[in-house]
Amino acid sequence: MLLLCCMWLTPLPAQDLDILTSLQKNAPYKVGFRLLETYDSTRVYQIKNATGNPFRPMQIAVWYPAEGKIKTQLTVEKYLRMGARVETLAKDAKNETAKLSEFVNSSHIDVTKAKRFLDHKLAVGLDMKIKPGDFPMVLYAPGSSAHWYDNFLLCQLLASQGYIVASAASRSLRSPGMSLNWEGVESQVRDMEYMLSKVLTLTKPKALKVNVIGRSWGAISALVFAIRNEGIVQSIASLDGTLSYNAQALFKDSPYPNADFVRKPLFLAVGKKRSARATPINRKDYFENVKYADAYQAEYDEMRHVAFGSYFLYYHYLLHKGIDTKTSNDLLEGYQLYTKHLLTYLNYYNQKETTNIEAIKGEKYQITIQKQSSVPLPNYQDFSYQLEVNGPRAARQLYKQAKAIDSTYAKKELFNAYYMNAQAYRYLSRGDKQGAIETLKLALDAFPKKANLYDSLGEMYYQQQSYKSSIKAYRKSLKLNPKNKNAEKMITKILQIKD
């Protein structure tokens, strides 16, 4: 994997798009682009829409290492035209033109600069052949209500360095605008999971390495994706994300209330150029409390929130009528610095590069590093494997180890009562009554007030003809749930057998 060196420090002419696209010069791979357009038929999006199709329309943008000649070279305008049909997946020249006109004619935009921006030819070829190889994957989650081209220059850069990058628009459950709540998070996370399934059919890798990057609100979704899909995730990155500001308030009522659930390396890029009204940086939420993984926080002196995404860097700043040269140069330099750090971080955890972020020294930014301080806890996948493959004793041993490190986590995250009850009956169906009993005993260690578990345990002892233990279990169930008629019936039945 090659790293970009001298070009990062090139003097930066203001409003020069060539400087950012030059990041791909001398890169090891050509970059191809495909836009996958499909419907996620597992989710209804809008009952009434222009197409009559109620399912969730999905545009999945994919940048990848490519080979062969570029036949159709992309421009920024082409990205915007393709993105204009995200709701219908149907080409509509009138709508595309209207979207472009809206962009160019925004009151703050310098029209000449905007047209130059839109016409700029990118070092990307449409529908090029995918280069064979097991390339690591990056799933990019845009900021709230942002499009898949939210950070197209970063996506192109990563593809030129040997990553397959995919992104989809940030939308809520049933509308184009993102809802800033847990319904919105769930919607974006499911988009990422669906996106992954589609990209895998395109690239067919032999080994699966997935990294997640989120900008602003998308950082929350990226982290939740990593928690839910821990087994395949290599690293997590937050680009001036909500994780660095008010994450604790958002996560407190979720299934993942604190940083204990971060099990993969975490990189937080933060802009220090914040308005007086902005939420201040909070290092205590998801940086200082990460203990089961390496964590890095890089704070950039001159970077502003939306400038971490290349589209908004240009839309809000570099194409602005009133932009001054210093601000322009500061933001361009800040963008290049953070992408350099991000690429170094990804290469270290994916490509076995020996250089990591701590080796990079410089001004205008501060990098704080916190190394993993505790052994990562097993997850529910580890537990279910032990229970279903190696049996209840192996599962209990894993549970015991986790409990010794974090009792609350072990009781909450490794399994639930319903799963354990179902597994006990699977053991019973195979004729392994003792296995069923041991499974329920383990479940009751975590959930001692679940009447149904005691009821099931009574049945297992009954099947084993251990009547004394069966009555004891049924009576415990009845005590916890006095309305349990089955327990009453079975106690009477067993007493009659004993008599």
- Cα first-last separation, the chain: 78
Q: Compute the distance between CA of residue 295 and CA of residue 237 in angstroms, rounded to an integer.
A: 10
DSSP strand pairing (365-370 vs 121-126): unpaired
Task: State whether the Cα torsion 165-169-173-179 is positive or negative.
Answer: positive
- pLDDT, tens digit (0-9, with 9 covering 90-100), for 217-260: 999 999 999 988 988 999 999 998 877 776 767 777 777 777 77
Output the pLDDT for position 5: 34
Beta strands in 264-363 (DSSP E): 266-271, 295-300
Output the pLDDT for position 64: 97
Rounded to 5 degrees, what are φ and ψ at 165?
Answer: -120, 130
Closest to 30 measured CA to CA, from 121, 124, 106, 120:
124
b (16+ CB within 10 A) / e for 295-316: bbbbbbebbbbbbbbbbbbbbb
- Residue found by looking up tokens 């310098």 in the block: 110
Task: Kindly report the three-state secondary structure assignment for every residue of 182-237.
Answer: HHHHHHHHHHHHHHHHHHHHHHCCCCCCEEEEEECCHHHHHHHHHHHCCCCEEEEE
* Non-local CB neighbours of 275 within 8 Å, separated by 6+ positions: none
Rounded to 5 degrees, what are φ and ψ at 96?
Answer: -60, -45
- Helical ranges in 242-391 per DSSP H: 247-251, 310-312, 325-350, 380-385
Q: Are 273 and 419 in contact (CB under 8 A)?
A: no
Domains, the chain, ranges and CATH?
A: 6-370 (3.40.50.1820), 377-415 (no CATH), 423-499 (1.25.40.10)
Rounded to 5 degrees, what are φ and ψ at 361?
Answer: -120, 150
Q: Are 286 and 314 in contact (CB under 8 A)?
A: no
Output the pLDDT for position 10: 39
* Non-local CB neighbours of 314 within 8 Å, separated by 6+ positions: 17, 117
Global model pTM greater than 0.85:
no
Output the pLDDT for position 3: 32
- pLDDT, tens digit (0-9, with 9 covering 90-100), for 127-184: 999 999 989 999 999 999 999 999 999 999 999 999 999 999 999 988 888 888 888 9
User: Residue 41: in which H helix or E strand, if any?
Assistant: strand 30-44
Low-confidence ranges of the chain (pLDDT < 50): 1-15
Q: Compute the distance between CA of residue 435 and CA of residue 428 in angstroms, rounded to an integer.
A: 8
Strand partners, 64: 32
State both tokens at 119: 């016409």
Output the pLDDT for position 358: 72
Q: Compute the distance between CA of residue 162 and CA of residue 144 in angstroms, rounded to an integer.
A: 28
